[in-house]
Amino acid sequence: MAQIITINDINAAELKIYASLTEAQLKTDNGLFIAESVKVIKVALNKGLVPASFLMEERQIEGIGREILELCPNTPVYTASRQVLSQLTGFELTRGVLCAMKRPQMLSLDSALKDAKRIAVLERLSDSVNVGAIFRSAAALGIDAMLLFHNCAEPLNRRCVRVSMGSVFLVPWAFFDKENYPEPQDAVSYLKSKGFTTAAMALKDDSISIDSDLLNKADKLALFFGAEGDGLSLQTIENCDYTVKIPMYNDVDSLNVAAAAAISFWELKKQNKNFKDCL
């Protein structure tokens, strides 16, 4: 039976992790992240992540939250009326159920790449919406792992988790830490040492098409995606084996990075016979 705890004061200490703590405070001081919606929480639970507490409206305890609570009978459930909870910043955006979850142990680069053949590498993507959308496409289209530069949005950021619809729990990922990989070329060199052909998504005179046989023939391939607006750094482009473009019409020269990633992942899936055909 779930431990139901009714809250009458929005300033209650139990609600701080949901209402007022920053992402940095959640991570560093509490070792937590926030998952929103029943679907996302179920994905996390199915991957073995551990809930610390739930927050939901009273009506959801016997409604959409019931299935989750049955899976977590010893986890505290904080609840209140809609009137009380609506005073919490952002609560009206959460689809009814929030869960504070314990952060999993972070993977090393080598662990994230175990058995990986097709991976995506993100550089300077600060927008958590874009990072979450790329994770969702990666999970759906068979990308084996995601690596992120130290200057990217964190995949366990609340918005990133929500936008990914829990896909951040489905694709192995790791960071290039600033101490060991201070420059973009350091990350490229690491991947080359692991046998990866490296390809920068960028527009150059010698860029090859995403459907090129040169990419198809690579045993292990790493696709690099750059920041919103500026794209990849010159160092990354110069150090990668190839630069790659998506052919486009009407003199359009670029797409949103999340859209470009989805198209690229789909093309890689079509090319690579080792990917499971889900059609």
Across the chain, which has 279 residues, the per-10-residue mean pLDDT values are 78 81 91 93 96 88 86 89 66 69 96 96 96 97 96 95 96 96 94 97 90 92 91 94 91 86 92 53
Phi, psi angle pair for 222, to nearest 5°:
-115, 120
Residue 263 burial (10 A CB sphere; 0-12, 13-18, 19+) = middle
Q: What's residue 272's pLDDT?
A: 63
Q: Which amino acid is at 190?
A: Y
Q: What's residue 89's pLDDT?
A: 46
Contact in structure between 10 and 84 (CB atoms under 8 Å): yes
Q: What's residue 252's pLDDT?
A: 81
Give me the half-sphere count of Cα atoms (radius 13 Å) on the Cβ side of residue 38.
14
Q: What's residue 15's pLDDT?
A: 81
